[in-house]
Chains A and B, each alone.
Chain A
Amino acid sequence: MTATTLTAPAAAAPPAERTLPLKTRLQRAERRKKLLHLALIAPLAVFLLLTFLWPIGALLKRSVDNPEVVGGLPATAAALAHWNGQGLPPASALAIFVKEMEGARGSTELASAAKRLNTEMTGYRSLIMKTARSLPLPDGSNLQEGLAAIDPRWSETRTWQVMARAGQPYTSYYLLAALDHAVDADGAIVAATEDQAIYLDVLGRTFWMSLVVTLCCLVLGFPLAYLLTSLPTRSSNLLMILVLLPFWTSILVRVASWIVLLQSGGLVNQALQALGLIDEPLQLVFNRLGVYIAMTHILLPFMILPLYSVMKGISPIYLRAAQSLGCPPFQSFWKVYFPQTLPGVFAGSLLVFILSMGYYITPALLGGPQEQMASYFIAFYTNETINWGMAAALSTVLLGATLLLYVVYSRYAGQGRNATKAR
Chain B
Amino acid sequence: MLQAYASPLERTWFYAHRVIAGLILLFLILPILVIVPLSFNSDSFLMYPMAGASLRWYEEIIGSDVWRNALLNSLIVSPAATLLAVVLGTLASIGLVRSDFPGKALLTAILISPMVVPVVIVGVAMYLFFAPLGLAGSYTGLILAHAALGVPFVITTVTATLQGFDYNLVRAAASLGANPVLTFFRVTLPLVAPGIVSGGLFAFATSFDEVVVTLFLASPGQATLPRQMFAGIRENISPAIAAVATILIVLSTLMLLTLEWLRQRAEKLRTGKSR
Contact = CB atoms under 8 A, between A and B. Distances in A.
A binds B: yes
Contact of A3 (B20, B171, B184): B171
A55 B211 contact: no
Interface stretch (A89-97, A188-196, A338-346, A375-383): A375-383
Contacts of B20: 223
B189 interface: no
A260 B38 contact: yes
Contact of A242 (B18, B28, B144, B157): B28
A365 B237 CA distance: 11
Give the bracket for the number of chain B residues in contact with chain A: 35 or more
A261 interface: yes
A386 B151 CA distance: 30
A1 B245 CA distance: 47
A388 B35 contact: no
A360 B249 CA distance: 22
B233 A255 contact: yes
Contacts of A388: 128
A300 B41 CA distance: 30
A220 B27 contact: yes
Given A37-B98, A242-B25, A44 B111 contact: yes
Interface residues of A, number: 92
A325 interface: no
A45 B112 CA distance: 11
A251 B230 CA distance: 10
A253 B263 contact: no
Interface of A is mostly: helix
A51 interface: yes
Nearest to A355: B116
B17 A379 contact: no
A54 B179 CA distance: 38
A49 to B, nearest CB: 9
Interface stretch (A72-80, A173-181, A263-271): A263-271
Contacts of B125: 55-56, 58-59, 395
Contacts of B274: none
B175 A3 contact: yes
B29 interface: yes
B66 interface: no
Given A360-B120, A361-B211, A43 B233 contact: no
Interface string A251-288: 11111111111010111001000000000000000000
A246 B32 CA distance: 7
B224 to A, nearest CB: 11
Interface string B86-109: 001101101110110100000101
Interface in B150-170: 151, 153, 156-157, 160, 167, 170
B83 interface: no
Contacts of A16: none
A213 to B, nearest CB: 14
Interface of B is mostly: helix
Contacts of A360: 118-120, 212
A48 B32 contact: no
Interface stretch (A112-120, A141-149, A156-164, A415-423): A415-423
Interface stretch (A17-25, A102-110, A121-129, A398-406): A398-406
A45 B34 contact: no
Contacts of A395: 118, 120-121, 124-125
User: When A and B form their complex, which 7 residue pairs have the shortest distance between CB atoms, in order from nearest?
Assistant: A358-B118, A40-B95, A257-B31, A3-B174, A55-B129, A37-B99, A44-B92
Interface of A: 1-4, 7, 33-34, 36-41, 43-45, 47-48, 51-56, 58-59, 62, 220, 223-224, 226-227, 230-231, 239, 241-246, 248-261, 263, 265-267, 270, 297, 300-301, 329, 354-355, 357-358, 360-361, 365, 374-375, 378-379, 382-383, 388, 391-392, 395, 398-399, 402-403, 406, 410, 417-418, 421-423
17 contacts: A1-B184, A2-B167, A48-B111, A55-B128, A56-B122, A230-B1, A239-B25, A249-B252, A361-B211, A374-B118, A375-B120, A379-B123, A395-B120, A399-B118, A403-B116, A417-B156, A422-B156
